């Protein structure tokens, strides 16, 4: 068939509704949208890429509570600081050994405290690629201890809360720790109001919690300042020691 006859056939077919004939080319592919717009293969690919980028942007802008924990890139600047961080991790092991073990919940909490001390010591001794995984294990162990403590203090914790905590534990341990620590604080305050013998322990707990929070924030804001992390360990250990009073 001659080029002239091809051109005539194209003009004839163009009269058919919804049909658009273009000259044949092995390097182009075109499609017609619902609105009659003609899109080439390259344009379709660009639209799909833009849609994927939009989804990716939305995911990157998700709230911090849905983000996985990031590894700590500072701390343990020298041997002395590492030694201080390891030594101040050991009190958690001692507190776990001394914690009451009246039932399964209190046993789990006591063992998790030992796990906190071990995970923290291993993290501060680590270097290289292993460090970020041990940082995750450290925070996850802290969150696990907070879950077991709230369970030991409140047997009536909802099943939905425990399932959600278990699901979020490896993803966002800091959020899990915050929720269950808040529940423990409420329980501690209520018990201290009813039991005068706990008021002194509660006052010490409040002071240590305040100092621990201040050291934790300062450690993040001033990463080059030595021994802030060790100070946080000590304040947290005092707070945990007062919590053990609730389980006696």
Cβ contact 167:205 at 8 Å: no
Q: Two tokens at 58?
A: 């939305």
Q: Along the 248 residues of the chain, how does pLDDT read in single tens digits?
A: 555 555 454 545 455 444 445 555 444 444 444 444 544 555 556 666 666 666 666 656 655 444 544 444 556 888 999 999 999 999 999 999 999 999 999 999 999 999 999 999 999 999 888 998 999 999 999 999 999 998 888 766 677 888 888 888 888 898 999 999 998 999 899 989 998 889 999 999 999 999 999 998 998 888 888 899 999 999 999 999 999 888 87
Which residues on neighbouring strands pair with residue 40, listed in sequence order?
30
Running DSSP on this structure, what letter comes out for residue 72?
P
pTM higher than 0.85 for the full model? Answer: no
Domain ranges of the chain: 3-61, 69-247
CB atoms within 10 A of CB 76: 21
Running DSSP on this structure, what letter comes out for residue 41?
H
CB atoms within 10 A of CB 144: 26
Strands (E), the chain: 30-32, 38-40
Looking at residue 224, its pLDDT comes to 86
Looking at residue 174, its pLDDT comes to 87
Taking the C-alpha atoms of residue 168 and residue 171, their distance in angstroms, rounded to an integer, is: 5
Query: What is the pLDDT of the chain when averaged over all its residues?
Result: 79
């Amino acid at each position: 068939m001659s080029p002239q006859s091809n051109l005539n056939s194209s003009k004839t077919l163009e009269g058919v509704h919804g049909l658009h004939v273009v000259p044949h080319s092995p390097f182009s592919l075109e499609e017609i949208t619902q609105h009659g717009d003609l899109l080439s293969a390259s344009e379709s690919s660009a639209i799909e890429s833009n849609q994927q980028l939009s989804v990716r942007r939305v995911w990157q802008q998700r709230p911090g509570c849905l983000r996985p924990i990031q590894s700590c890139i500072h701390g343990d600047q020298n041997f002395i600081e590492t030694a201080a961080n390891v030594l101040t991790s050991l009190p958690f092991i001692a507190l776990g050994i001394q914690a009451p073990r009246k039932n399964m919940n209190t046993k789990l909490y006591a063992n998790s405290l030992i796990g906190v001390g071990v995970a923290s010591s291993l993290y501060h001794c680590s270097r290289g690629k292993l460090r970020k995984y041990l940082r995750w294990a450290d925070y996850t162990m802290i969150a696990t201890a907070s879950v077991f403590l709230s369970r030991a203090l409140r047997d009536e914790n909802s099943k939905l809360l425990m399932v959600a905590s278990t699901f979020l534990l490896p993803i966002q341990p800091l959020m899990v720790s915050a929720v269950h620590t808040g529940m423990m604080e409420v329980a501690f305050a209520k018990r201290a109001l009813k039991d005068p013998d706990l008021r002194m322990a509660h006052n010490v707990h409040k002071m240590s919690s305040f100092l621990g929070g201040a050291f934790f924030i300062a450690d993040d804001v001033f990463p080059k300042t030595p021994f802030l992390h060790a100070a946080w360990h000590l304040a947290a250990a005092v707070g945990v020691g007062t919590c053990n009073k609730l389980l006696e």
